[in-house]
Structure 1
């Protein structure tokens, strides 16, 4: 497993390059953590079911209550170049 991220800056999207992170911290309520856990479990089920046809999923697409939050994306390593 690898974790990538980048700072929230004013850079244009073409100038933003994700960095590999050593640590992440989620500042979230118990309810938010349960929603994130459910999202991750659902993504894992879809990934196993669809294998290489499943690339990634955004938390805010799966749960609209996260639309104003930082982007949380899970990505299938078998489709990563």
Structure 2
């Protein structure tokens, strides 16, 4: 597993390459954590069912209550065009 990301200040810069992060901290309510867990479970199922054709998914696309939250993206490490 790898974790990549941007700082809040960098998020709108063009041509930005995400940095590999050593640690992340989720500051979330129990309800938010359960919704994130459901999202992660759905991503895992998508990867298992679609294999290398499953690219990535954004939490806010699946759960609109996260639209104003930092971007949370799951990417398939085995994705192939």
What is the TM-score normalised by the length of structure 1? 0.91
For residues 42-57 of structure 1, the aligned pairs below 5 Å read: 42-57=42-57
What SS does structure 1 have at the residue aligned with 2:14? helix
For residues 11-50 of structure 1, the aligned pairs below 5 Å read: 12-50=12-50
Gaps in structure 2 of 5+ consecutive residues:
none
Gaps in structure 1 of 5+ consecutive residues:
none
Q: Report which of the two has the higher share of helix.
A: 1
Q: Number of paired residues? A: 80
What is the TM-score normalised by the length of structure 2? 0.91
What is the aligned-residue RMSD (CA, Å)? 1.5
Please name the residue that 2:68 is paired with: 68
